[in-house]
Structure 1
């Protein structure tokens, strides 16, 4: 029985994740998710007490995946912060070049839910702050005189890629981010870190 319960929850979350990301969270109703998940309404509410609870689960799942992506991008260069930063921007191009890329799920959600107490805003807020902190931590390991400034400038580059790729495609301005990141890193850090 527990396997079936877990399977239904996973199915609901998978369907919701796809629909929320591709069509927007507010535009998708619970009835659509229930129908596409092939679950009963009672099953849906057993797993998610409300649409807000589902939104929270969706964004939490995205947060875990995004931070795992971040870690995987920098992990091969442990102890070499400058290379970690460059590798992160190399990985960023790959991330936004996948078919169906519709921008950053966190930016998309936060624009749909401007109320700061809503999970659609809280989880994007906490995720973006976590990324900023991680960038600061890496930059503090470099020889940058102002590591927090470098981290913020790199964060702006990253967010720019997330915001512009849905409009221009991955072959547009996003391709310039690797060079821009390298120039920023070189401007802030001597050749060796």
Structure 2
């Protein structure tokens, strides 16, 4: 029962924080959304900051898994998989309730508080995500996968930011094409020729 109550609170926080931002959502609103008293909320989370940290922690693994699914591992050439990942992001961003990346938004909203748990957690998440991406590129035969992974990460973050500003998912498609070109140029010549032969 205790875990169920905690999960309900985190779920309510997730919905409200993601839609409205961290600062504008009150603990009272979260408690009401979760169907618990404010006292119960504070029993599970000692402060709003602790709840914010739990909200982001709950988003960490599902976010990576979503991108892992989008990238896939179905034997297609790596550049094609990269294009597919960005195309899936574009499709995901078409949802009316899409508000960009919760981690990036948290870091931006609290940029004046570099030691805030949400900022630290956002930095940790982005570092882990970048390492995962570099690992996928290395497994696909990309030379200097760490550097290329960082470049693809920049394109990904830029696409998310511009889609949020302009509400135009073509930014993700364009970023995907650029990322695929980067990856292609970092593959061994034999792999590149194989890709060209198939296409």
Same fold (TM over 0.5): yes
Question: CA deviation digits over 1:31-76, x for unaligned, max 9?
Answer: 1212222211221111111111110110011112101212222343
In structure 2, the residue matched to 1:39 is: 36
Aligned residue-pair number: 190
> Aligned equivalents of 1:128 and 1:120: distance in 2?
12
Equivalent position to 2:104, from 104, 107, 113:
107
Q: TM-score of the superposition, structure 2-length normalised?
A: 0.84
Distance verdict in 2 for CA 1:184–1:107, change over 3 Å: same
Q: TM-score of the superposition, structure 1-length normalised?
A: 0.86
In structure 2, the residue matched to 1:187 is: 185
What's the Cα RMSD here? 2.2
Equivalent position to 1:146, from 135, 144, 147:
144
In structure 2, the residue matched to 1:59 is: 56
CA contact (8 A) 2:79 2:180 kept: no
In structure 2, the residue matched to 1:123 is: 121
In structure 2, the residue matched to 1:167 is: 165
Question: CA deviation digits over 1:85-108, x for unaligned, max 9?
Answer: 343223222232222111110110
Question: CA deviation digits over 1:88-136, x for unaligned, max 9?
Answer: 2232222322221111101100112233332111111011001111121
Equivalent position to 1:134, from 132, 135, 138:
132
CA contact (8 A) 2:83 2:177 kept: no
In structure 2, the residue matched to 1:74 is: 71
Which blocks of at least 5 consecutive residues in structure 2 are unaligned? none
> Aligned equivalents of 1:125 and 1:27: distance in 2?
22
Once the two structures are TM-superposed, the CA of residue 9 in structure 1 deviates from its matched residue by 2.2
> Aligned equivalents of 2:5 and 2:145: distance in 1?
46
Distance verdict in 2 for CA 1:68–1:78, change over 3 Å: farther
Which blocks of at least 5 consecutive residues in structure 1 are unaligned? none
3-state SS in 2 of match to 1:76 = coil
In structure 2, the residue matched to 1:12 is: 9
CA contact (8 A) 1:89 1:177 kept: yes
